[in-house]
Amino acid sequence: MKTIISPPLLIATSWSPDGPTSSFIASKLFSSLHRHLFIAMNISLGLHRHLFIVMKLSLGLHYHLFITMKLSFGLHRHLFIAMKLSFGLHRHLFISLNFSFVLHHHLFFATKLSFGLHLLEALVRSS
């Protein structure tokens, strides 16, 4: 079982439940990620607001993400500081760097990912 601190995309693609407890956690996690992507698609009125919503819903890393939000002076600076302040979150922030500069591309990716997570959630619940 991977730790909760693993980035959402890594959990979504490589986390396989190994018992009833982790199946329940996986079900809750995938449900939460699906809801997160739905909110990201519907409430993103601007990139900064979108990143705030993503931060509020990111796997209990609120303290780290609160610090990055407080230190942001613009998107490029924010992501640079986020990278500097990450403690094992480099993969997650690298994904943010790749998909957060162009909002429409990010939302397209989020749409594709949410369909995948929906399928994974169904598989986890059926097992």
Domain that holds residue 42: 13-126
Q: Is residue 109 one of the residues assigned to a domain? A: yes
Q: How many domains does the chain have?
A: 1
Q: Is residue 96 one of the residues assigned to a domain? A: yes
What percentage of the chain carries pLDDT values higher than 90?
0
pLDDT digits (tens, 9 = 90+) for 14-38: 344 444 344 444 444 444 444 444 4
Q: Is residue 113 one of the residues assigned to a domain? A: yes
pLDDT digits (tens, 9 = 90+) for 91-105: 444 444 444 444 444
Q: Is residue 2 one of the residues assigned to a domain? A: no
Q: Is residue 89 one of the residues assigned to a domain? A: yes
Q: Is residue 7 one of the residues assigned to a domain? A: no
User: What per-residue confidence (pLDDT) applies to 14?
Assistant: 38
Q: Is residue 83 one of the residues assigned to a domain? A: yes
Q: CA 6, 87, 56, 108 torsion: positive or negative?
A: negative
